[in-house]
Amino acid sequence: MGVVIESEIWENNQPLSIFIFVSCLLSILCLPHNSTRISTVFDQSLPSSLLRFHANFLLLFCFSSVMEGMWSVFGEYEMAYFGVSKDQMLSFLVIGSASALLIGTVLGMVSDLIGRKKVCLMFCILHLFVAVWKRIVSHPSIWLASVCLSIASSIFLFGFETWMVAEHDKLGHRLDSLNEMFWLMTFVESASLIGSQVLANWLVSNDIEKNMFSPSTATALLALTSIIFIAREWRESPPATFKDYRISLNTHIFFDKRIWLLSWAQSCVQFSVAAFWILWAPTIVADGREVNLGMIYPCLLGAKMLGSTMFPWFKNGPLPLRTEDCLVYAFVIAGIVLSIVAYDYQEVGILVGLFCLFHACIGLILPSLARLRTLYVPNELRGGMISLSLAPANAAILLCFIMRGYSGSIENSTIMAFGAIALFSAAGCMHLLKQSGKHSPHQNFHKQ
C-alpha cells in the first residue's frame, strides 16, 4: 500500500500582518506629548516653508524608494524569466558589489563637492536609463545594468539624507523637526517598498508575456517625474572648494575617533542587512520547505516601519534613553537574532518572528544613527562620511559573494554569523562612543 505525502505551502498568519499594522498606527497616534509628533508634516501651525519642504521631500523620497523597490522585488524574477543562469546572477551580484565598492565609496565626497541635488538627479537618471533600455532591448547587458543599479543604490543610501539635512538647515529650522524626518524617512521607505511589491504584482498580473515590461515603464515614469520635480523645486547653494573640503575632511573625519566609531557601526549595519536580504529566503526554504515568500516580505518591512515609530518614544518618551544606549540594546538584540538563525534550525513560524524582530531593531537603528551623524558630522562632510563608512561593508559583501559563490569555502550560516558578530561590534562602538562623550562632549553642528 502506497503512502501519500501531502505537500503544504506555509503562509504567515493573517493576524500577524494585522497586528503589525495596528501597532504602527497606535504607535504613531499615541506618540509622547513632548515630541513634535508627525506635526512636522501636517500641523498647519508650523511655518509654511517647513510644511511645504517636508511634504515635497517625503513625496520625492517615496518615488525614489518605489524605484529602488521595483528592482529588488522584481529583478530576480525578471532575470529568471529571460533565462539568466545562476552563474550569471552571481556575476551580476559580484559586479554590483565591486561597483558599489569602487565607485560608490567616492560618490559621497563627490556629492559634497558638486552638490547633493546633482547626485540625487544622477540617481533618477540611472534608473531612467536602465528602465528605458529594458523597453528598447529585450535583454540588456547584465554588466552595464548591474553597474548602473549598484551606483543608484549607493546614492540612495546617502544622497537623499544629506540633501534633506542641508536643505533643512538652509531653511533655518530646529533640530527636533529634523529628528522627526529621520524616522519618517525610514517609515516611508519601508511603506514604499511594500507598495512597489504591490505595484509590480499588479502590473504583471496573470499575463506575463504581455506585461513583462510594465514594471520598467512604471519605473521610467517615476524617474522622469522625479527628475522634473527635483530640477524645478529646489535651488542649491554653491559647494565648498576642493581644498577647503579636504582640510575639513582631515579635521573632522579622519582624526576624530568618535567618527570612526560611528562609521564602523554604520558599516556593520549595512553588512548585516545586506547579508540578511541575500540569505533570508534560502534560510526559510531550507530542507525543501515550501513557503509563500511574497507574503512574508511585507511583514518584514512592516516590522521595520514599527521599529521606526519607536524612535520618538525612546527619544521623547516617559523614560527617555540616550541615543547611544538605545543603539546598544538594539544592536545586541539584532545580533542575538542573527546568531540564533545562523546556528539553530527553526520552524518557519519562529524564523519569521525572529526576522520581524530583526527588522524592528533595524527600523530603530537607522534613524538613531542618522541623529548621531547630525550631532557629530558637519553638513558639508555628511555625504563623504556615509559613503566612506559603507566601504568596509561593500568589501565584505563582495568577499562573501566570491567565497560562497565561486569557491564554496563558506556556508550561508557562516555569513549570517559574521553579520551577528558585526552587530555585536557595533554595540561595542556605541558603548565606547557614549564613554567618549562623557569626557569630550560632542559639538552640535545644528540648531537646537
Mean of pLDDT values over 340-359: 84
Sorting pLDDT into bands at 50, 70 and 90, what band is 7? very low
Q: How many CB atoms lie within 10 A of CB 439?
A: 6
- Same-domain status, 233 and 247: no
User: Going by C-beta distance under 8 Å and a sequence separation of 6 or more, which residues neighbour residue 35?
Assistant: 176, 180, 312, 315, 316
The CA distance from 208 to 206, in Å, is 6
Q: Is residue 95 part of a domain?
A: yes
C-alpha angle 216/159/377, rounded to 5°? 160
Q: How far apart are the first and last CA of the chain?
A: 78
| pLDDT 10s digits, 399-432 | 998 888 777 778 888 999 999 999 999 999 999 9
Distance CA 193, CA 70 (A): 8
Q: Are 64 and 162 contained in the same domain? A: yes
- Amino acid letter, residue 378: P
Residue 403's nearest CA partner among 418, 384, 425 is 418
Provide mean pLDDT across the span 222-228: 92
Report yes or no: 73 and 196 within 8 Å, Cβ to Cβ. Answer: yes
Residue finishing a domain among 239, 254, 269: 239
Average pLDDT over residues 281-293: 75
Note whether 150 and 177 are same-domain residues: yes
Mean pLDDT for the chain?
81
Residue 37 within any structural domain of the chain: no
Q: Which of 187, 213, 239 is the last residue of a domain?
A: 239
pLDDT in tens, 175-210: 667 888 899 999 999 999 888 888 877 777 655 555
Quick one: 211 and 254 in the same domain?
Answer: no
Whether residue 35 is predicted with pLDDT greater than 50 in this model: the reply is no
When comparing pLDDT for 15 and 199, which is higher? 199
Structural domain of residue 297, as residue ranges? 241-440
Are both 201 and 284 inside the same structural domain? no
Looking at the fold, whether 269 and 404 belong to one and the same domain comes out as yes
Q: Are residues 191 and 274 in the same domain?
A: no
pTM above 0.75, yes or no: yes
Lowest-confidence segment of 129-138, 155-164, 168-177, 404-413 by average pLDDT: 168-177
Q: Do 180 and 294 share a structural domain?
A: no
Going by pLDDT thresholds of 50, 70 and 90, the confidence category of residue 332 is: very high
Burial zone of 129 (CB within 10 Å; 0-12 exposed, 13-18 middle, 19+ buried): middle
pLDDT tens figures, 118-127: 899 999 999 9
Cell of 28: 504613531
With cut-offs at 50, 70 and 90, classify the pLDDT of residue 33.
Answer: low
Distance CA 395, CA 271 (A): 9
Cell numbers for 334, please give them.
539584532
- Count how many domains the chain has: 2
Q: Which residue has the higher pLDDT, 360 or 284?
A: 360
Asked if 268 and 426 count as a contact pair (C-beta separation under 8 A), the reply is: yes
pLDDT for the residue 40: 46
